[in-house]
Amino acid sequence: MKPIQMVDLKSQYLKIKNELDEAVVKVMESSAYINGPAVKNFQQHLEEYLKVKHVIPCGNGTDALQVAMMALNLKPGDEVITTPFTFIATVEVVGLLGLTPVFVDVEPDTFNMDVRQLELAITQKTKAIVPVHLFGQCCNMQEIMRIADKHGLAVIEDNCQAIGAEVFIDNYPLQKSGTLGTIGCTSFFPSKNLGCYGDGGALFTNDDELDYRIRGIVNHGMFTRYYHDMIGVNSRLDSIQAAILDIKLKHLDEYIAARQQAALYYDKAFAGHPKIQTPVVASHTTHVFHQYTLKLTNVDRFRLIENMKEAGVPVMIYYPVPLHLQKAFAHLGHEKGDFPVAEALCDCVVSLPMHTELDEEQLKYITDNFIRFID
């Protein structure tokens, strides 16, 4: 059996090695290393794939979120609503820009923003909502957009984990996650569903004016060469990474299908187990399984993880501490009990190996051992 990893990027690479190697060499030979044709090509192909008017490549997913908030002209003191059960980057940039993060708890089944609590968090200072499409399924965007429109708020989708997920909204054709809000943000970190071989990210928008502002901000606030209208950043997608992504984009749907197939195997193996709750997918979205995350009851999680590790199977906890209880956000004054669902999830979730290269032998080995150690 092939060794089991959380993510197997090497095997994925080897399958399309020739094509990738050739593309990388071509960029090196072209010497168009910054904003070369490879970046423009990838941008255009991603716009077509997502059916969105503008894709603006940038340096990474964290930058994408920061630039989105700068493009919306958010100012210190403005409040940004998001959830406490996510990766730190989402609120890190809120803090860096001097904005105030306001948390809304998540749903116990989908781990995404509980939209029933969203309106209660809106104040006079609220300027934006940042729904995080966690682990690969989309938040309830229909309801989030309805509330945002009612209150005149911008919506920045943190789509770093859900690229390619599809959203069903009444009377609309299928839409891709990240294209429904004011701005969508994604990451091309190697282990993400569409990952490059280094850092990378992008913003999506259907708004021409925001597209113009974002392109200026990622390029030192420069709209005309050497005229700087605002303080910007330097955040670019390398041409080499764009060439890699352009090839991997062609395989994205096939990669998503492979993840969904592995998830289905896990679902079947754990179905009906009294101590395991398998992922619940909301009816308005597909799930692209960036992570396959279980909820456990009456299980010694740390012993289980230790046993699995000894059996050669990595099992991870995403995420062990909710953001409102992180030291970096102690100044917000939150305490245990403020967001009970997020806190309970941090105490009971585990994520299993999930990638495009899992075969049936590995899946059987993982599930057999997992059930053996739990019982």
Minimum CB separation of residue 103 from ligand PLP in Å reads 15
Q: Does 137 bind ligand PLP (CB under 6 A)?
A: no
Q: What is the Cα gyration radius of the chain?
A: 21
Helix (H) or strand (E) holding 285: none
- CB atoms inside a 10 Å sphere around CB 333: 8
- CB atoms inside a 10 Å sphere around CB 274: 9
DSSP symbols for 7-37: --HHHHHHHTHHHHHHHHHHHHHHT--BS-H
Q: How many residues at the interface with ligand PLP, by CB under 6 A?
A: 15
Laid out side by side, the sheet with 349-352 consists of 276-277, 292-296, 349-352
Site string for ligand PLP, 52-71 (x = CB under 6 A): --------xxx---------
Nearer to ligand PLP, 132 or 374 (CB): 132
Minimum CB separation of residue 1 from ligand PLP in Å reads 29
Minimum CB separation of residue 160 from ligand PLP in Å reads 3
Q: Does 351 bind ligand PLP (CB under 6 A)?
A: no
Site string for ligand PLP, 211-250 (x = CB under 6 A): ----------------------------------------
Cα separation, 82 vs 342, whole angstroms: 12
Nearer to ligand PLP, 82 or 362 (CB): 82
Cα separation, 69 vs 246, whole angstroms: 27
Interaction with ligand PLP in 68-127: which residues (CB under 6 A)?
86-87, 89-90
- E strands, 188-237, in order: 201-205, 222-224, 227-228
Phi, psi of 290 (to 5 degrees): -60, -40
Q: Does 265 bind ligand PLP (CB under 6 A)?
A: no
Residue that has been written with the tokens 């299980």 in this structure:
299
Residue 267: both structure tokens together: 């679902």
Residue that has been written with the tokens 């492979």 in this structure:
258
Interaction with ligand PLP in 185-214: which residues (CB under 6 A)?
187, 189, 199, 201
Cα separation, 200 vs 43, whole angstroms: 12
Interaction with ligand PLP in 150-189: which residues (CB under 6 A)?
158, 160-161, 187, 189
Nearer to ligand PLP, 60 or 110 (CB): 60
Minimum CB separation of residue 209 from ligand PLP in Å reads 25
Q: Which residues bind ligand PLP (CB under 6 A)?
A: 60-62, 86-87, 89-90, 132, 158, 160-161, 187, 189, 199, 201
